[in-house]
Amino acid sequence: MADKSPMHSFRWLKSVCLILALAPVFTLLSRADTSLVYFGTYTDTGSKGIYVSRLDTSTGKLTTPELAAATTDPSYLALTPDHRFLFAANEVPKVAGYVTGFKLDAETGKLDPLNQEPSGGLSPCHLITDPRGKFLITANYSSGNVEVVPIQTNGFLSAPVCVIQHHGSGINKARQEGPHAHCVAMDAQGRVYVCDLGMDKVMIYHLDPNSGQLTTNETPWAEVKPGSGPRHIVFHQDGKFAYVVNEMGGTVTAFAYDASSGKLTEIQTASTLPDDFHGNNTSAEIAIHPSGKFLYASNRGNDSIAVFAIDEATGLLTRVQIQPVAGKVPRGFAIDPTGQFLVEANQNSDNIVVYRINPEDGKLTATGQTFAMGKPVCVMFVPAE
């Protein structure tokens, strides 16, 4: 017979109250194990804009992507440091591009559109926000220039305040007939580094934190091997090295980085391709593992991700793996904030794939998770709140 004594009822009520009191804690613990994952796409073959998933970092399970916001050709995404606002480079073909701002709902992952501003040129392909979230800086590929747009406190974009036009060309007349700004990045001192594929240079500027004006650094640029086509640059967490993935060369150039002057000095160029590969290839994305121990670069053509170990003392790279991807043309990828998983986007096979990262050697193993998405080209993590 069940115990129906008053003392039993009291104990039962006390247990219920304890469970209810701890419920918010359980929710927080659960959400602490998840990250929002946003995907930028080209929208000419069925995709509608920016998509969002959640990655459970305790299991590696990625939820089915859902539309977060409808917008045209959001080929690259950027986030303010406080995670309140997200911005997209709208790389619309044959006409002047633009950038779009969104308010991010951390609970649902949905994006509420704010406003748009012109990108200052043709084919905006990359953008970042500055460390204070005051400015949006965009690289325009086809016109070879860089624009700075102020971000208001409510996330709305103001009219552009600065446009820097590059001038120059490279040895490959088909691809380097003129400047092609392909990436913007910032160091901890407030300098802006712009990879220009057409000039085989990484241009270096100072960003005025109040006006948003860009001025040329005392050391104005760093060069890569002619015909390499620098695409993206990343800085190592230790503040001593930087790495550039070269689209046309199928290589990564390692630089010693001088924080006091901003100067980049080449120390190594390493191939991202198998030694016996002789086909057409263009390298694309680059990322450093949160531990600082490993570097990753994607190959379009070989359809793989190259994994390198980073020597802590010298910054030199040793290739440890070339992981074939489960798709075609892996244009973009990102590593989750915990460093356990890599999510990559295959533009020409219309799919997203999840890989587990070995913490000991950095190598990738496919988890078997693949999701359909029309022309995904950018992946960005946002820690869930």
- C-alpha 160: how far from chain center: 23
pLDDT-derived band at 84, boundaries 50, 70, 90: very high
What is the distance between the alpha carbons of residues 205 and 43, in angstroms, rounded to a whole number?
33
Q: How do residues 142-200 score in pLDDT, each as one tens digit?
A: 999 999 999 999 999 999 999 999 999 999 999 999 999 999 999 999 999 999 999 99
Cross-sheet strand order for the sheet of 251-257: 230-235, 241-246, 251-257, 264-271
pLDDT for 229:
98
Higher pLDDT, 61 or 383: 61
How confident is the prediction for the chain on average, in pLDDT? 93
User: Look-up: residue for tokens 């960005």?
Assistant: 380
* pLDDT value for 385: 65
| Confidence check: pLDDT of 77 > 70 | yes
Q: What gap in Å lies between CA 70 and CA 141, rounded to an integer?
A: 23
pLDDT of 182 reads: 98
pLDDT at 33: 87
Enter the pTM of the model: 0.91
Cβ contact 282:228 at 8 Å: no
- pLDDT for residue 14 is more than 80: no
DSSP annotation of 299: E
Mean pLDDT score, 216-233: 98
pLDDT confidence of residue 56: 96
Q: What pLDDT does 108 receive?
A: 94
How far does CA 100 lie from the centroid of its chain? 17
Model pLDDT, residue 186? 98
Report the Cα–Cα distance between both ends of the chain, in Å, rounded: 47
With bands split at pLDDT 50, 70 and 90, how would you rate the model's confidence at 383? confident
Interval 320-331 mean pLDDT = 98
pLDDT at 17: 42
pLDDT per position as a tens digit, 39-59? 999 999 999 999 999 999 999
CB atoms within 10 A of CB 189: 12
User: Contacts for 211-219 with beta carbons within 8 Å, 24 or more apart?
Assistant: 211/161, 212/134, 212/135, 212/148, 212/149, 212/150, 212/161, 212/162, 213/148, 213/161, 213/162, 214/146, 214/148, 214/162, 214/164, 217/191, 217/262, 218/261, 218/262, 219/261, 219/262, 219/263, 219/264
Region 334-361: what's the mean pLDDT?
A: 98
In the structure, what pLDDT confidence band is assigned to residue 332 with cuts at 50, 70 and 90? very high
What is the rounded CA–CA span in Å between residue 43 and residue 35? 25
- The widest CA-to-CA distance across the chain, in whole angstroms, is 90
Q: What is the mean pLDDT of residues 6-23?
A: 43
